[in-house]
């Protein structure tokens, strides 16, 4: 074969291996800040059933990682901000982290880890300068540790950043540049990522634009907007997602990085906890987004589309509500993997709900018909329930915001009862409540029943006086049992050896 033939072969092999140039498939964030998380194997099935082939985790939790082993799903593995300081201080700490949280899962469980996401929005304005000194050194140490572990090619580093790391001085994408307080740092980080063939990850939230500014044109937050557009030179933008993304492209270009790869690490729309967080808007936004992904559509300044990770897969009822009550309702699915709204995932394929979920008994805790709202224990009881359970659906403009005062109390009592796994005593509230088997849900307001996480049987907690003695007796019984077993095993083994 002449040199020419080799060349032809090279290109055929190259083309086959490289596959289509367009970014394919769907990515999703899998957060686990839930009082009753779905079992990891059910989540992995849910991801596969819905065609998600990429997932982003916020930290290296053993059970989700193991469930992702040999699933065919690519993983972006996050490192929480609290870890940045220790990882920045020594390469050794980074090596240990990579060994325990990356190498092990790749080699032992076959997890397809592709990225390590160092920190989570560490330069967010509200964090002030907390992570400013440690993020870049931590990134460098993790990169060094990956190379040392022989994973330098397979696993890339990145930092998921909030879109507030860049801004525009004239409200147009072409005015884009990095925030002045971190510009030098951003340039160093992007040069480092670029030198290591690693992508920049950005989280973009059109919902928050709308949430923050009552005069924000609603149309412009979605992808089917027509009435409002922003004209920037020869380009006319009809949605804030594209305008925001291109602001980043301009910022990169101005600082000498016109071709660094970008990943959209989080983008989505919540369904509850704010008047603009509702099923209709969330469906409208996410459908527009999924259509773009399916079509492989980029933006005017970067026609090559980025990989996109939707935020998020399921609702998380113990997330901090500091950003707003909507924070616990970003899921495409409810906390239990039930469908919130229909979404066409391309080729007429629709969302599929989680399968095999086991629930607690079909019973709810509600305000007793005999109880009086003037009861002196009433306000305190609701307050108690809502301190320990998630009442974010009760707020103004939320899915249960229209309930009257008695149903409102029922909702609060039920959330507490379910969150406490329907344990005995969790539906008492100074005799203001009763248990019912009639579903109190109304229209969009779901009175939930939690997933059975195996905690409802522990109702018989021994009272303090006798518990010491009882547990002592229990350990004696276990000790005797174990000893007997060991003796048996010894006898059996020795007989086997003789034969």
Ligand X SMILES: *[C@@H]1O[C@H](CO)[C@@H](O)[C@H](O)[C@H]1NC(C)=O
Residue carrying the six token digits 């967010």? 124
Residue 181: φ, ψ to 5°: -70, -15
Can residue 101 be called a binding residue for ligand X (CB under 6 A)?
Answer: yes
> Which of 23, 49, 51, 59 forms a contact with ligand X (CB under 6 A)?
59
Half-sphere exposure of 186 (CA within 13 A, CB side): 30
Can residue 204 be called a binding residue for ligand X (CB under 6 A)?
Answer: no
Classify residue 195 by burial, with Cβ atoms within 10 Å: 0-12, 13-18, 19+.
exposed
Residue 28: φ, ψ to 5°: -150, 145
- CB of residue 120 vs ligand X: minimum separation in angstroms? 11
Q: What number of chain residues touch ligand X (CB under 6 A)?
A: 15
Identity of the residue, 22 or 405, whose beta carbon is nearer to ligand X in the bound complex = 405
Stretch that binds ligand X, among 18-26, 290-298, 405-413, 484-492 (CB under 6 A): 405-413
Stretch that binds ligand X, among 93-101, 177-185, 303-311, 340-348 (CB under 6 A): 93-101
**Binding mask 151-190 vs ligand X (x if CB under 6 A, - otherwise)?**
----------------------------------------
Can residue 142 be called a binding residue for ligand X (CB under 6 A)?
Answer: no
Buried/exposed 451-460: b ≥16 CB within 10 Å, e otherwise? bbeeebeeee
Does 266 participate in catalysis according to the annotation?
yes
- CB of residue 131 vs ligand X: minimum separation in angstroms? 16
| SS3 at position 150 | coil
Reading the block at residue 115, the tokens are 């990225």
- CB of residue 304 vs ligand X: minimum separation in angstroms? 32
Give the pairing of strands 156-158 and 112-118. parallel
Where would I find the H helices in 263-314? 279-295
| SS3 at position 115 | strand
> Which of 405, 478, 479, 485 forms a contact with ligand X (CB under 6 A)?
405
Does 59 participate in catalysis according to the annotation?
no
Rg (Cα) of the chain, in Å, rounded? 27
Give the residue among 97, 95, 22, 108 at the shortest CA–CA distance from 59: 97
Centroid of chain to Cα 421: 24
> Which of 372, 431, 458, 473 forms a contact with ligand X (CB under 6 A)?
431
- CB of residue 52 vs ligand X: minimum separation in angstroms? 22
**Binding mask 348-387 vs ligand X (x if CB under 6 A, - otherwise)?**
----------------------------------x---x-
Identity of the residue, 299 or 393, whose beta carbon is nearer to ligand X in the bound complex = 393
- Candidate list 266, 327, 420, 448, residue with the active-site label: 266
Classify residue 340 by burial, with Cβ atoms within 10 Å: 0-12, 13-18, 19+.
buried
Positions annotated as catalytic residues are 121, 266
Instruction: Using CB under 6 A, list all residues that contact ligand X.
Output: 59-60, 96-97, 100-101, 382, 386, 391, 394, 405, 408, 412, 430-431
């Amino acid at each position: 074969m002449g040199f020419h033939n080799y060349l032809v072969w090279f290109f055929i092999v190259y083309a086959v291996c490289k596959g289509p140039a367009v970014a394919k498939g769907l990515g999703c964030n899998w957060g686990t800040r839930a009082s009753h998380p779905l079992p990891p194997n059910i989540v992995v099935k849910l991801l596969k059933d819905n065609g998600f082939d990429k997932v982003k985790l916020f930290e290296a939790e053993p059970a989700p990682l193991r469930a992702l082993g040999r699933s065919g799903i690519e993983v972006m593995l996050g490192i929480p901000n609290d870890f940045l300081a220790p990882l920045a201080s020594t390469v050794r700490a980074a090596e240990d982290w990579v060994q325990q949280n990356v190498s092990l899962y790749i080699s032992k469980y076959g997890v397809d880890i592709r990225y390590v996401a160092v920190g989570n929005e560490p330069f967010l304005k509200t964090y002030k300068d907390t992570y400013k000194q440690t993020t870049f050194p931590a990134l460098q140490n993790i990169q060094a540790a990956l190379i040392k572990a022989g994973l330098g090619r397979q696993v890339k580093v990145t930092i998921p950043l909030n879109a507030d790391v860049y801004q525009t001085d004239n409200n147009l994408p072409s005015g884009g540049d990095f925030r002045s307080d971190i510009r030098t740092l951003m340039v160093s980080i992007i040069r480092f990522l670029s030198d290591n063939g690693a992508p920049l990850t950005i989280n973009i939230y059109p919902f928050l634009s709308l949430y923050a500014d009552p005069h924000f044109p609603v149309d412009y937050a979605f992808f089917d907007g027509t009435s409002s557009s922003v004209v920037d030179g020869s380009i006319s933008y009809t949605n804030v997602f594209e305008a925001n993304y291109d602001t980043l492209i301009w910022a990169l270009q101005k600082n000498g990085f016109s071709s660094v790869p970008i990943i959209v690490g989080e983008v989505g729309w919540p369904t509850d906890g704010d008047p603009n967080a509702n099923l209709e808007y969330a469906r409208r936004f996410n459908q527009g987004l999924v259509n773009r992904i399916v079509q492989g559509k980029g933006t005017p300044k970067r026609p090559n589309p980025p990989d996109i990770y939707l935020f998020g897969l399921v609702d998380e009822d113990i997330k901090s509500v500091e950003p707003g009550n909507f924070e616990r309702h970003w899921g495409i699915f409810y906390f239990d993997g039930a469908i919130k709204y229909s979404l066409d995932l391309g080729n007429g394929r629709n969302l599929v709900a989680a399968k095999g979920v086991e629930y607690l008994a079909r019973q709810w805790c509600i305000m007793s018909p005999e109880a009086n709202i003037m009861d002196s224990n009433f306000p305190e009881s609701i307050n108690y329930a809502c301190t320990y359970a998630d009442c974010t659906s009760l707020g103004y403009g939320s899915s249960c915001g229209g309930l009257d005062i008695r149903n409102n109390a029922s909702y609060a009592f039920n959330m507490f009862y379910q969150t406490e796994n329907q344990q005995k005593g969790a539906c008492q509230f100074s005799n203001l409540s009763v248990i019912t088997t009639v579903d109190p849900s109304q229209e969009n307001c779901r009175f939930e029943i939690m997933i059975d996480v195996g905690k409802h049987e522990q109702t018989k907690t021994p009272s303090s006086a006798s518990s010491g003695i009882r547990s002592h007796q229990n350990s004696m019984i276990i000790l005797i049992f174990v000893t007997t077993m060991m003796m048996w095993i010894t006898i059996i083994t020795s007989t086997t050896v003789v034969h």
